[in-house]
Amino acid sequence: MGVRSRWTASDVPDQTGRVAVITGSNTGIGYPTALALAKHGATVVLAVRDADKGAAAADRIRRSCPQAAVEVQPLDLSSLESVRAAAAALKSAHRRIDLLINNAGVMYTPKQTTVDGFELQFGTNHLGHFALTGLLLPQLIRVKGSRVVTVSSMAHRIMAAIHFDDLQWENGYNRIAAYGQSKLANLMFTYELQRRLAAKRKPTIAVAAHPGTANTELTRYLPPFFRPADRLLMPLVIQSAAMGALPTLRAATDPEVTGGQYYGPGGIGEQRGHPKPVEASRQAHDIELQQRLWAVSQELTGIRFPV
């Protein structure tokens, strides 16, 4: 038991010499993730849509940790052109990447599409990260101990399925189910990526995490009929963004982590608490669906992985 049952940011090992790219790291759970890694010596790249907000977040990190090495990389995951440009810039700046943390996301948005015509939640949360990972993987697989950590959600169980017959929700739209689909896709992507990395004996592992119920900006699109319950229940179950970041941090840094694991809060219902390995839904582990999603994602993004 001991420290293993109450893993905290102080348990992050020394990250000196490591490069960590974190999407959506100017706010939410991404910011404390970046702060903790910077405090432990990593060079942290804040890959964010709004460069000004990214610069402000970098300044906050430097004020908290004057020796921090922090960079800002503009990245809009809802645009494949932006993803390609960001990946090219990162590959030019960093011969090696030790950690890619696919953290950014949107939740419960009204029906919208990305620049490329994808449903916004699926396009941003899954396809954008799928493309970014594929483009940056050459920088990762040359590094022993490197990791791809993708942030999913408990919502991968709620109304969640991969709607292969209508991935972009053109025939009716349910914002909650669409979010669940994107988070289920995050897990399926992690498991298929890990299987491919292991088959090729690459030194990189793929891991997933979820923050439980954390105090972030994601709930700003919560449907109106959920808001009264949200106001009543959230004080009972919500935890800080810093606590919500712990599963990601553990998945990214704990030496005991193995490929294909999924980390979340250890409290009741995985809503809050210190991080531990948790279980994904049975559907998330369906290998045939994982491989089908991979093939469709490659077709939609035009990205081919070196595994």
Give me the active site residues, please: 179
**Separation CA 291–CA 138 (nearest Å):** 21
At 19, is the secondary structure helix, strand, or coil? strand
Helix (H) or strand (E) holding 69: strand 69-74
Cβ–Cβ under 8 Å, residues 217 and 28: yes
Rg (CA), the chain: 18
In sequence order, which ranges of the chain are alpha helices (DSSP H)?
30-39, 51-64, 80-93, 120-121, 129-140, 175-199, 227-237, 241-244, 246-253, 287-301
d(CA 261, CA 254): 12
